Chain A
Amino acid sequence: DAKTTQPTSMDCAEGRAANLPCNHSTISGNEYVYWYRQIHSQGPQYIIHGLKNNETNEMASLIITEDRKSSTLILPHATLRDTAVYYCIVRADSVNDYKLSFGAGTTVTVRA
């Protein structure tokens, strides 16, 4: 799997948009960008994934650059319950390798 680079931590204000960056400069053509988050004492929670087009669901938006070397997860209106570790993961869509490998993630703290 291609490796990703994320900031170690970031703060954001409640009610404001939170923009979480991720670099994946060695991503391959058949690799998707996945985002998960892990709230304290819970298992990781799936947020969103995409290949090359921007994606949006009820939780977040995913913006992938045209060259696919980086992406941004956007939480449109952060709440205190969004405080968590956020993982950006590159995952292959191949019969030989489709495991989900986690890095250290970004610790996001939403402040009132």
Chain B
Amino acid sequence: EAGVAQSPRYKIIEKRQSVAFWCNPISGHATLYWYQQILGQGPKLLIQFQNNGVVDDSQLPKDRFSAERLKGVDSTLKIQPAKLEDSAVYLCASSRWSGVGRYNSPLHFGNGTRLTVT
């Protein structure tokens, strides 16, 4: 099966500019995640969708970050305005729905978008 697709692969912007990342999950995967990975650290969950509804966005800096998942398939993550500390790799992951009472299907990750804010 095709993996999780992300674009662009790299992005360089100046602080205060805006940027958007796109993710296409594995076909049929109902759950989609966005993670932020700062250099030298493990990935940190930003937001989790179940179909097109938000399950958890407690770690998303909502004053500048937004995400949507229209029609329960593709998703975009936007930063506006960007700060220097937003420089990181943004990873998208998806997992299939296991069914009622089961929530722990493995996540499959894309290779991420490396953002540099100057």
Contact = CB atoms under 8 A, between A and B. Distances in A.
Interface of A: 32, 34, 41-46, 49, 85, 87, 91-95, 98-105
A93 B106 CA distance: 11
Contacts of B103: 92-95, 98
B70 to A, nearest CB: 22
A98 B97 CA distance: 12
11 contacts: A41-B111, A46-B106, A87-B42, A92-B103, A92-B104, A93-B103, A99-B33, A100-B45, A100-B107, A102-B42, A105-B42
B62 interface: no
B111 A49 contact: no
Contacts of B91: 43-44
B104 A101 contact: no
Sorting the interface of chain B by its residue count into under 10, 10 to 19, 20 to 34 or 35 or more gives 20 to 34
Contacts of A105: 42
Interface in B63-95: 91, 93
Interface of B: 4, 33, 35, 41-45, 48, 56, 91, 93, 102-104, 106-112
A18 B88 CA distance: 30
Contacts of B111: 41-43
A38 B118 CA distance: 26
B56 A99 contact: yes
Given A93-B102, A99-B48, A46 B42 contact: no
B2 to A, nearest CB: 14
A45 B112 CA distance: 12
Contacts of A103: 42
B43 A44 contact: yes
Contacts of B42: 85, 87, 102-105
A93 B104 contact: yes
A34 B44 CA distance: 16
